[in-house]
Structure 1
Amino acid sequence: MRRLTLLAFIAATLAGLGDDAQSQGFNRESFDVFVDARTGMGRPVYWYSVGTLRAYPSGELLARVEGFDTSMSDRPDPGRALARQFSRKIYIYRDAESNEILRERNGVAVEPVAYPYQFITYELVGDRLTTMVEQGSGARVQRIGPGDTMQARRIGDAYVFTAPLFLDIPTRGERRYQAFENYDFFIQAPGGASNPNQLSWVRYGEAPAWAGGGPAIMHLITWRIDQWKDVPASLRDYVETEAPLWRAPPTGLQEIRRLQSREPQ
């Protein structure tokens, strides 16, 4: 009975939202709203995250997670709905009980998730936002895309952008990196919230070796920070002392091409 009541409540809520909650195609306005929020407008921005890594299906808390994606962008042709994003990202694992940074577990080193760069191109093609992602270096440079599965919704005066990723990428040997990731960006209208740019992110895939492998779910709550000094000290101090490259995004395409040319260690 309670289940039926809950379903009825959800149905009534969705009906009340009307057409605003339906998935819509992109136009120039929604393209600009997403790109400006996601990448900033010529200055570095930091999408700071906190969350958890849990085993599936048990739900066991394997670690806490903290990190950010920092990026800046340019518009190479102002007459086109085309933008290029220059990013770095780093996420560290923390002990579930003490919250100390994990360095080792069960004799296995715990490494952060760290990308020296990601290069993403966004373009409006018809009513679809298409993406192309480049990452890796040397013979292992990967180009993922073009993808056009992102959805745009209006809920009142806010935008919700949903980007599902179904990843199946070859790695060393015969192994493949397989995971599902979903990004929900909530972009509030100007003046509608003290922090108008938010993101909920979830990943289902294999846990790191130090966490025992096997299926795991990572979930992060993320919001945009516009100045380095406002990144929480818990992460800012780590980056400044142990990962200074990640203090700021790549300066542009020239730096990214230089990083791509290096052979991986």
Structure 2
Amino acid sequence: MISKKYKRNPILLEARHFLLNQVEMADNGHLVALKEWKMRSWGAADGAQKVRTLGIKAKNYYYDPVHINNTKAVYEAGKIMNSIGRMVDFETKKDSVASLVKLYIFYPTVLLFFENEDKELQLTIFTPRSITSGLAVFFSRRKFEKEMDELIERNLDKKEKSKKEKDNEEEEDEIDPDGLQVADTGEKNKKKSLFKKNQVVYVPYDFGSDDSGDSGDETELADDEEEYWDGSNWVIVKKDEFDD
């Protein structure tokens, strides 16, 4: 039974047909997805059980043409895809080129290359969802980019950039309202500096007593300095050098 997720996305549904070998031969020699149930002569697809139980992994990549326009880039990609896999035609994406790529030790992938609504060159890779699906996508993309090396160059789209920025924000230190200590980020035994590079005087010193009870000499602080416990040592810091 096909889930609502695939019914809402006709491109994903068509890629599912290709990964399940639910295809037939078109007049131009390309494979097209079956629109109705027929007795198939292509046999069971590699990874068919993964597709039926876990679904499909889809990954998008974006490119800029080099010395050619987008239409020419799609045309050249069609010739490249014919050499790295079996050409397939997406009925739901007429102005595109696609190929079914067989990998030696990973499940097959479907590569779909086209110009999207934002006038960007987009490569979408479909593969059965599994523990090795990321590797299947990686090797398929690398094979495609190697053949298209002098025609296109990869860039990061706004979605990938926003995701990357979000990940970076989550990795940054969180500072408490007093601005004096790092909140627990869940990372084991990792302490990151709160101070900007080359702006803080960081001087460990003894505050007066050791384990024997003897009192040492106290360190005099300047007006713009204060004491701070960094978790393992007392340090002298400039009052106005904390990160905002």
TM category, shorter: under 0.3
Q: Which protein has greater RCO, CA pairs closer than 8 Å, 6+ apart? A: 1
Higher fraction of strand: 1
Q: Which structure has more helix as a fraction of its residues?
A: 2
Larger CA Rg, structure 1 vs 2: 2
